[in-house]
Amino acid sequence: MADVDSLHATDSDLDQDTSAVDADGEDDDVSEEGHHLEGHRKKSKQKMKRRPARQTDPSSGDSDSQIIDPPHNQKKVNPHKQSGDAYPAEDHMHDIREGSSRDDTSSAGGSTPASNAPASSSASKSQEAVKSPPLPVDKLQEIQRAMQLLGVPQGAPKNWEEASRKSYQFWDTQPVPKLGDKVTENRAIEEDRPVEEIRQECYSLPAGFTWDTLDITSPSILKELYTLLNENYVEDDDNMFRFDYSPEFLQWALQPPGWLKEWHCGVRVIKSKKLVGFISAVPAEIKIYGVDRKMVEINFLCVHKKLRSKRVAPVLIREITRRVHMQGLFQAVYTAGVVLPKPVGTCRYWHRSLNPRKLIEVKFSHLSRNMTMQRTLKLYKLPDSPKTKGFRPFTPADVGDAFKLMVKYLTRFDLAPVFSEEEFRHWFIPRTNIIDSYVVENNGVITDFVSFYTLPSTVMHHSSHKFLKAAYSFYNVSTKTPWVDLMQDALIVAKNMGFDVFNALDLMENKEFLEKLKFGIGDGNLQYYLYNWMCPSMNSEQVGLVLQ
C-alpha cells in the first residue's frame, strides 16, 4: 500500500506546477509543511468516533494505494484503530490501511494533513521565500466550512456518490474504465508496445532532486528505506498509530522471485543525499476471470512529509511505470482506500481483539457502556492451545503438497494470483516476525492451510505501550477442517505469539468465520484496481488476492 498523504499529490486539480521545488533551498533538506487546521480537525474526529460503521473511504487526496502510471498502496489498511466499542456486535473499527480521513485545505499537491502540528518556525521562514504568501489559517477555515456547507468534496472521494461528482483530470487520460462504464469484456484496454517505443530516459525531477535505484541488499540502504517509511508512511486518523514495516519484512515483500533492482525506485536530495521518496513494483501473475496475465503489484509509494506539496508522487509513479514498461509488462494490480476509476472489487477489513486490555489502554478500542473490563476479557478469551488434530507449523518439506492444495483452491476465484512453486516457497515458508503458516495433516495428507503476516504499528503517544502487534490473514485453505475451527486455531497461535489484534478481509470464504469468531467490522473499504485492463466488477467473495 502507499501512503495516503503522499498520494494526495498524484491528481490534484489545484496544483499542477511540478517544477516548483528547489530541494537545496529547503529547511532540513526537504520542503515546508504548510498550514494546518488542527482545531477544526479535532472537533470532527471527536464526532467521528461516535458514528456507527459506514461505507466511507477516508483519504486526503485523489489517490490510490498501489498503482502503475500516474494513478499503492501503499499498501498498503493500517494499524486499524478501532473507533467503536470493544464488543464485536457494536464495535466499528477505523482501519487506517484503508486511508485516513483528513480535513486538508492546504496546497492540493499532497501537503501534510491538518492532523499534524501547526507549521514550525523553520517552516515559516521557508515560506517567506514564496512569492504568493498563503492565505491565513482563519481564511482557509472559512473556505473549508463553505465547501462543507455546499457539499463540495475535499480531496479524494469517500464513497461512490462523491466519486460520481468528482472530475478525474488525471484518470481521464489513463487506460482505466470510467466510473460510470458498464464493463462486460475481459481484456486489455491498450495493446502492448515494443520496447523501442517506450521512453528511454528517466522522467525529470524538480530542481535539487535526483533518482536513485535502491540496492536493498545493502544494510545501510535498507535502513534508509526503513527510516523513510517508519517516519513518513501511513498513520491512523488521529496520529496515534503508524505502520512499522521491519527491514526484514521489506526484503520479503520487495524481493520475491523475479524481483528487479530497477523497480525499487528512490528519490534523493542532491545536496544532502537524503532519501525522500520511494515506490516499488514486484512481478506477479494474476488470473482475471480465467485469463492469466503477467503484471506487477505496485506498493510502498511514500514521499517525505515535508515534500507533499511539491508533487513528487506523480513523477515517482510515472517513472516506475516507465521502468515496468521497459520490461515488457503493461498491466498492474493495486489497492486503495479511495474510490477511483474504476474498482474491480471492494473488500472490507475486520478485526479480532486478542489483547483487549492493551487495545483499550492505547485507545485502539474502548469499552462499551454495558461492558466491564473483566467481561470484555472473558468475551475474547481463547483456548490455550489449538484444538484441531494434526494442526502444526508449515515446513519446507510440506511445500509440494501444500502448493498443490493452494493452486487448486485459488482456481475458485475470479481475481487471484497464479503462484509458481518457487513463489509459494518465498511467500509461505515461515520467517520469524514476518510470515507464519500452519497446516492440518491427517494420515500423511495435508488437508488445510492457514497463514498470516506480521505488521506491527508504533504507538505514538503512550507512556508504556510503544508497539501494537498485528497479524494479517494472508491465504487460507479449508477442505476438511471447518472454517471456524481452522481460524480459531490461527487466533490461538497468534495470541500465544504475542499478537494484540488479528485482521482479515472479507474476501474468498472469510465470511464463513468472521462474525462467528467475534471479529468486528471496519468502517472503510479497500478497493481493488487493475491498470490497463477492463473486466466486470466482482463481489468480495470472488476476490482471491491479498496484497501486503
Regarding whether 421 and 328 lie in a shared domain, the answer is no
Among residues 286, 310, 344, which one ends one of the domains?
344
SS3 (DSSP) at 442: strand
Regarding whether 459 and 387 lie in a shared domain, the answer is yes
Regarding whether 487 and 361 lie in a shared domain, the answer is yes
3-state secondary structure 514-531: CCCCCCEEEEEEEEEEEE
The model's confidence at residue 241, banded by pLDDT at 50, 70 and 90, is confident
pLDDT of residue 197: 96
Regarding whether 489 and 368 lie in a shared domain, the answer is yes
User: Domain containing 423 — which CATH number?
Assistant: 3.40.630.170
> Over the stretch 514-544, which tens digit does the pLDDT of each residue have?
999 999 998 778 999 999 999 999 999 999 9
Domain presence at residue 405: yes
Rounded CA-CA distance 187/372 in Å is 55
Regarding whether 340 and 430 lie in a shared domain, the answer is no
Domain presence at residue 111: no
Regarding whether 508 and 413 lie in a shared domain, the answer is yes
Regarding whether 504 and 387 lie in a shared domain, the answer is yes
CA distances from 503 to 50, 77, 414 (A): 22, 10, 23
pLDDT of residue 209: 96
Regarding whether 291 and 176 lie in a shared domain, the answer is yes
Cell 482501519 -> residue: 95
pLDDT of residue 73: 34
Among residues 298, 315, 344, which one ends one of the domains?
344
In terms of pLDDT, which residue wins out, 63 or 334?
334
> Over the stretch 102-149, which tens digit does the pLDDT of each residue have?
333 233 333 333 333 333 333 333 444 444 555 666 655 555 544 443
Regarding whether 325 and 195 lie in a shared domain, the answer is yes
Asked whether the predicted pLDDT for residue 212 surpasses 90, the reply is yes
Asked whether the predicted pLDDT for residue 41 surpasses 50, the reply is no
Domain presence at residue 73: no
Domain span including residue 354: 346-542
> Which of 528, 413, 534, 410 is closest to 1 using CA atoms?
528
Domain presence at residue 417: yes
Domain presence at residue 513: yes
Q: Name residues whose C-beta falls within 8 Å of residue 294's C-beta, 6 or more positions apart in sequence.
A: 283, 284, 285, 329, 331
Domain presence at residue 133: no
pLDDT of residue 296: 98
**How many domains does the chain divide into?**
2
Cell numbers describing residue 404: 498443490
Domain presence at residue 231: yes
Q: Which pairing describes strands 467-468 and 241-243: parallel, antiparallel, or unpaired? A: unpaired
Q: What is the pTM of this model?
A: 0.77
